[in-house]
Amino acid sequence: MKKVFRSSKVLLPEQAEPQSTAIVTDGDRIVSVGEDQGPDTGEIVDFGDQILAPGIIDLAVFAIDKPAFHFGGITRAALMPDQSPVLDLPAMVKHSATEGKPDLWLHPIAAGTKSLEGKELAEIALMKEAGARAVATGRKWISDSGIMLKLLKYCASLDMPVIVHSEDQGLAGDAVATDGETATRLGLASAPASAEALSIARDIALLRECGARLHFRQVTTANGLELIRAAKKEGLPVTCGITPAHLFLSDIAVSDFRTFARLSPPLRAEEDRQACLEAVADGTIDVISSGHDPRGPEDKRLPFAESSPGMAGAETLLALSLSLVRDERISLNRLFELLSTNPGRILGVSAGSIAEGQDADFISVDVDAAWQVDNRKMAAAAGNTPFDKLPVQGRVRAMYKGGSAL
């Protein structure tokens, strides 16, 4: 059945500003944009002057958390292989690919090595047939350069992107913070921020040997971002992402041993945070994702060094990211390139933008709606957020997956 979705503020690809237009869907696909065929077409949904945007595609989450995803306007999520058991077999990938449908599509990311140990390549071709959209190193960096080169070559032959964690374990070791005044004052085991740049430099060097598509899941330091800029100027197929936590928090947030701010990679110095904001504005950063990894009291109500890294990020992803628009660092259209279009392109799915032939995944957003983050009231499996009690703006008012209201 055909439907017509109308709004005076539709976010369309390659448009600088929201457009007043209509979207016609047939089943779960968009069949035309801009042609308002009127009541004879079928059901009409009018959003007035609310923003109509593509559904968010959250690239690289660590937990399936449907209530949190729905609250945050996430219609698709790419699931990292760091599960129990690890997603290193076709059967587990196939099961994950079907979980959550029809109102949430999960795209499992295959483990690059067996058990994510970085020693032996997994059966990546079979996992691709089972539904894997990408390959990842998980929360770890593959220190063996020979294994990493084999992985890149294998994935290049399969045309699968490789998602990497960038942190040289030889330097990072058991560190829980970044070298600096805060770590020293608190007496926390720390590692230099250069652990990130070293790992990025190694992986870019290997990339030149094989031409695979490489996505750096989180780049959080000024030196790391300079390496990404240089690689892009060179024409290498690299992309990179970041989370709102590393955009809006510095290592000062771990003061008083706040375990909700214990993340991986750890929060950085203010200079690095400012460099990340500049990288979003100049196009160096391609993706903003939530890094959703809810942790309960058994993981967080511990001494800082013994607590587990991770935060519940799905519910706050959109509202926090909208701060970039209000601060005039980027446009609203550019924001949804970061949240939807670019993640969809990396995964190779027909979603992430409002265009003919794409899946009819939309969200209606009230960008001025004010609310307060409260870890006691979050929809996530666990409300561990370092943004607790922060006033924010931006709420999802309606959500459509495949043209159907959720």
Distance (Å, whole) CA 200 – CA 76: 28
Q: Which of 103, 95, 93 is nearest to 134 (CA)?
A: 93
Within the chain, what is the greatest distance between any pair of CA atoms? 69
Provide the percentage of residues in the chain whose pLDDT is more than 90.
90
User: Does the pLDDT at position 125 exceed 80?
Assistant: yes
Confidence at residue 103, expressed as pLDDT on a 0 to 100 scale = 87
- State the residue for tokens 């590692």: 191
Confidence at residue 102, expressed as pLDDT on a 0 to 100 scale = 86
Distance (Å, whole) CA 348 – CA 232: 20
Confidence at residue 35, expressed as pLDDT on a 0 to 100 scale = 66
> For 79-89, what is the mean pLDDT?
96
- CA dist list (Å): 115 to 73, 265, 314: 32, 21, 26
Q: Which of 345, 348, 343 is nearest to 158 (CA)?
A: 348
Confidence at residue 41, expressed as pLDDT on a 0 to 100 scale = 61
Reduced to 3 states (helix: H, G, I; strand: E, B; else coil), residue 246 is helix
User: Does the pLDDT at position 353 exceed 80?
Assistant: yes
> For 278-286, what is the mean pLDDT?
98
Q: Which of 224, 238, 290 is nearest to 263 (CA)?
A: 290
Q: 373 with 388: CB under 8 angstroms?
A: yes
Quick: pLDDT tens for 171-198.
Answer: 999 999 999 999 999 999 999 999 999 9
Residues 6+ apart with CB under 8 A from 325: 331, 332, 335, 367
Distance (Å, whole) CA 128 – CA 157: 12
The structural architecture, per CATH, of the domain 55-350+369-393 is Alpha-Beta Barrel (3.20)
Between β-strands 29-33 and 177-178, what pairing exists: parallel, antiparallel or unpaired?
A: unpaired
